[in-house]
Copies of this chain bind each other. A is one copy, B any other.
Amino acid sequence: MSKSLGSLVEALGGELLGDPATPIDRLSPLSSAQTGALAFVAQDRYAHQIQTTGASALIVTPALAAAAAARGACIATSDPYLYFARLTQWWRAEHAPVDAPAVHPSASIHPDATVDPLASIGPFAVIGAQATVAKGARIGAHSVVGARAQVGEGSLLYPRVTIGDDCCLGDRCILHSGVVVGADGFGFAPEAGRWVKIEQLGAVRIGNDVEIGANTCIDRGALDDTVIEDGVKLDNLIQIGHNVHIGAHTAMAGCVGVAGSATIGAHCTVGGGAVVLGHLRLADGVHISAASVVTRSIRQPGHYTGMFPIDDNAAWEKNAASLKQLHRLRDRLRAIEQAMAHATPETPESP
């Protein structure tokens, strides 16, 4: 479904240079865009592609507007990437409008549940006793909303999401397929070589505008609740342990594991595959690199990393073997320094 460039600028703003009638059939990456495509130039380092792209129109910064306009239509805006984000939302809404609210006849809804007349419930979904599904919420096929659980206004559960008993979800959240909110936290007391289960009596509280990726798990608290604040974005296959607290607008990439009772600040980012150990505290604005293991609390904002550098296997084997001797190497180095200090007082001092 083609849109005119003008209708798009009318909806989203920005300064239009060129023909408002330019037809836009699709959004494309700059490098592969062809006629009919609208593309964006997020960073100056891609500016050289302005001359070569086949896009019918470009979204650029004011600084690049003259160059872009010289080759065809463009939209000038202070933050092209943000403009592009809003454009994708508008594009989707125009091309895939949300169906009218409906409850599928196969859904299993407890008579004591409260489902707003403007909510949608998909095939085979299960809504438990005293659960609440608010206005505009959409519950996908096979999703389960547990007893006394709450789903806020406009929240979207894709097919096959589980919200455990007593857990609550704010407004405008998006939960992808396979998400499990409110499984038991991992808590056991040892007794003579066996594990005695600690029943997990808390729940999970999730704020507004939270997005949770496919197959990600957020465990219920042991006594108090696990808490995910507003605007948090979690990618796929993430594990959030019991009683974790994640501050607002923190984002985590795929495969991250956060152990129980960790408290993570607001506006943090955690790279893919990183691990945060339990009972730690991360300040606001902490950025953890992919695959790093957070073994201690981090009280200062900043960028932290711990990751073995990749190398060809033969080189790695040699270096890894040496690493097991590293402490001894340090001792040997110190011994040399001391011997040299004794022999020649002007050599560098050892600590």
For A235, the chain B residues whose CB sits under 8 A away are 186, 239
Which bucket holds chain A's interface residue count? 35 or more
Q: Please determine whether A183 and B177 come into contact, CB atoms closer than 8 angstroms.
A: yes
Q: Which of A1-9, A43-51, A67-75, A157-165 contacts B (4 or more CB under 8 A)?
A: A157-165
- The smallest beta-carbon distance between A3 and chain B, in angstroms, is 13
- The smallest beta-carbon distance between A140 and chain B, in angstroms, is 8
A292 at the A/B interface (Cβ < 8 Å)?
yes
Q: Mark A197-223, 1 if CB is under 8 A from B, else 0.
A: 111110000000101011101010011
Q: Please determine whether A27 and B201 come into contact, CB atoms closer than 8 angstroms.
A: yes
For A308, the chain B residues whose CB sits under 8 A away are 292-293, 306-308, 320, 323
Q: Which of A13-21, A85-93, A113-121 contacts B (4 or more CB under 8 A)?
A: A85-93
- Please report the C-alpha to C-alpha distance between residue A347 and residue B222 in the assembled complex, in whole angstroms: 59
- The smallest beta-carbon distance between A297 and chain B, in angstroms, is 11
A283 at the A/B interface (Cβ < 8 Å)?
no
For A86, the chain B residues whose CB sits under 8 A away are 196
Chain B CB count within 10 A is highest, among A86, A257, A277, A325, for A257
Copies per assembly? 3
A11 at the A/B interface (Cβ < 8 Å)?
no
Known A304-B313, A318-B327; further 9 A-B contacts with Cβ < 8 A: A27-B223, A176-B183, A294-B310, A304-B311, A307-B316, A332-B350, A335-B347, A336-B337, A339-B346
Binding site for B on A (CB under 8 A): 26-29, 32, 79, 81-82, 84-86, 88-89, 91-92, 104, 106, 108, 122-124, 126, 141-142, 144, 158-160, 162, 164, 174, 176-178, 180, 183-184, 186-191, 193-201, 209, 211, 213-215, 217, 219, 222-224, 231, 233, 235-237, 239, 241, 249, 251, 253-255, 257, 259, 267, 272-273, 275, 277, 288-296, 302-313, 315-327, 329-330, 332-333, 335-337, 339-340, 343-344, 346-348, 350
